[in-house]
């Protein structure tokens, strides 16, 4: 059961991942704003995915680490076990695509909010 929850959470977190490509000055600014590690701190929404992520907040951690080369590493720790997945990401305006999935996003100060049908996921810069 623990492994199933961990796998589901990695899948949910992968859906929320977002990113950047370097295609000019605007893209460079977007990329630079994302570079670094972000830790999940809040989930808003009532979908099954959002409810699972809310539960996960009390039992584990989820982090996204964005790199300048267009890669993002999603790291999930659950019951002391860490799992990491690497994906490619790109950014186009206020849209981020990770591993083929696109969602809206915004950065305000040290908070990154990702907007999806599944809910809103808020990450804090580490």
- Per-residue pLDDT of 76-117, as tens digits, reads 998 889 999 999 999 999 999 999 999 999 999 999 999 988
d(CA 26, CA 91): 10
Task: Spell out where the chain has E strands.
Answer: 36-44, 60-66, 71-78, 81-92, 95-98, 101-108, 111-116, 119-125
Q: Is pLDDT at 9 greater than 70 in this prediction?
A: no
Domain that holds residue 63: 2-125
CATH number of the domain within which 99 lies: 2.40.128.50
Q: Count how many domains the chain has.
A: 1
Q: What is the pTM of this model?
A: 0.76
Q: From the DSSP assignment, how many helices (H) and strands (E) are in the chain?
A: 3, 8
State what percent of residues in the chain have pLDDT above 70.
Answer: 75
Give Dmax over CA atoms of the chain in angstroms. Answer: 47
> To which residue do tokens 């580490």 refer?
126
């Amino acid at each position: 059961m623990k492994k199933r929850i961990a796998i589901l959470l990695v899948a949910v977190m992968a859906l929320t991942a977002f990113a950047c490509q370097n295609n000019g000055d605007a893209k460079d600014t977007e990329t630079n704003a994302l570079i670094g590690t972000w830790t999940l701190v809040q989930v808003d929404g009532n979908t099954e995915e959002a409810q699972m992520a809310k539960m996960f907040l009390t039992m584990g951690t989820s982090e996204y680490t964005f790199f300048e080369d267009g890669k993002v590493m999603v790291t999930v720790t659950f019951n002391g076990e860490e799992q990491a997945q690497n994906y490619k990401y790109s950014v186009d305006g206020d849209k981020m695509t990770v591993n083929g999935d696109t969602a809206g996003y915004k950065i305000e100060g040290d908070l990154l909010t990702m907007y999806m049908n599944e809910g809103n996921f808020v990450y804090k810069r580490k």
